[in-house]
Structure formats: structure tokens, C-alpha cells
Copies of this chain bind each other. A is one copy, B any other.
Amino acid sequence: MTLASLRETVYETLMALPENDLVRGTSGNVSGREGDRVVIKPSGVDYDELSPENLVVVNMNGEVVEGDLKPSVDTGAHLHIYRENEELGGIIHTHSTYATAFAAAGRELPVYVTELADTFGESIPVSDYVPPGTEAIGEEFAKHTGEGKFQGLLMKNHGLFAAGKEPGDALKAALHIEHSAKISSIAEDLGTPEEIPDEEAQRLNQEYLEGYGQE
């Protein structure tokens, strides 16, 4: 993929965040990697002022190689995650409401619904509190997540980091986590939901990765 087309992909993924109610105001960010270049949202810019052209390109040391704007304050965290896992090509950070509520309560997200089992095959872990805007975020992410196509970590008192092979996978991860978190919080109000057993959750995940969608 050329950098120009990665800019397009990251831009489209960014615009999907407000459309899907995953961000408010200027918060949240998306990046995509191609080789040793990362395209990322500029810091504190409104979503309706973004364009493929004003996104920032940095190298793996965080130096700006294209663009006039300052990159996201979370750039260091994104880069750390990419360096730790060669397979990842897209990362999203949001304060989406229900995922962040689980993070604020310091709780992992249980596998109450097949929607979460399909994409992850297991619960979404929660980290200890680490300061936003630091590499410690990346360290927590590497520590808590594995090698799946879709990955996610709830950052205590903070929000969600979701990742995938490409930005669209990170978006799918973030959407499924947020929606499952909303269903789960209501289900706990209604009674005592039971988790899908580990083995079945992993089987659903396998089946989803192999059988869902086209091709």
C-alpha cells in the first residue's frame, strides 16, 4: 500500500469514529502503519477539519517526516505497540462510553455475548492505571494482548486501545468492544449473565475468522 492510500484509509477510519458515536469533540485517534512509516491524527484537531492531506506521517522513532501539524499526544504509545508486534497495521484509541465505563470500574469485559466471542475468543483485559501519552501504554498493551487479528485493551480510568492487521480491523475491534460493553452493563442490571465457556468462545472465534464474510 502506498502512503497516499494509507492516508485515505486512516482518514476513513477516523471519520467512522464520530459516525459510530465512538468519540466526542477532538478526542480519540487512529493510526495506520506501512513499512517503517505511521500515518496518525494530528493533535487536538476537530474531526470535521481532518483530511487525508493534513494527517501526520512519522517514522518509527516518532520523528515527523511529512506534515505541518503536531501528531497525536498518543503517538509514542502507538509506535510502541507497532514495534512490539510486527503483524499490526492499525490502532485506534477512544474514550467510547461503555468500554471506558468498564475501564473506570477497573474491570475486564466478560464474554457474555457471541459478538465478542466471534472477534476475540476471550474477554477483553484491563490494565493497571498508567499515565496517558506515555510509552507505558504500549507496554501494557504488549503485555496483555496476544496475536489475534483483533486486539483490545481497556486502560484503567482512561479508555480503550484497539488494534488489528489494518485500520479497518481496529475499527471492527473497537465497535464490537463498545457494543458488547453496552449489552453487558445492561445484562448485569437485568440479572446474572453467564459467560460463554472458554472453549466455545475460542471455537466461535476460529469459525468467525475462517467462515465469516466474502472469499
Chain A interfacial positions (CB closer than 8 Å to B): 20, 24-27, 42-45, 69-70, 73, 95, 97-98, 100-107, 112-115, 118, 129, 131-133, 157-159, 172, 175-176, 179, 182-194, 196, 200, 203-204, 207, 211-214
Contact = CB atoms under 8 A, between A and B. Distances in A.
Contacts of A24: 20, 175, 179
Nearest to A117: B157
A191 B27 contact: no
A152 B20 CA distance: 27
Integer count of this chain's copies in the complex:
4
Contacts of A175: 24-25
A105 B193 contact: yes
17 contacts: A20-B24, A26-B213, A27-B115, A43-B212, A44-B213, A70-B214, A95-B183, A97-B183, A100-B113, A100-B183, A101-B183, A106-B194, A113-B158, A114-B158, A133-B211, A185-B190, A188-B190
A189 B179 contact: no
Contacts of A191: 105-107
A200 B175 CA distance: 30
Contact of A43 (B131, B159, B213): B213
Nearest to A42: B214
A121 B194 CA distance: 29
Given A214-B44, A214-B70, A104 B95 contact: no
B172 A25 contact: yes
A188 B191 CA distance: 11
Contacts of A69: 214
Contacts of A188: 105, 189-190
A111 to B, nearest CB: 8
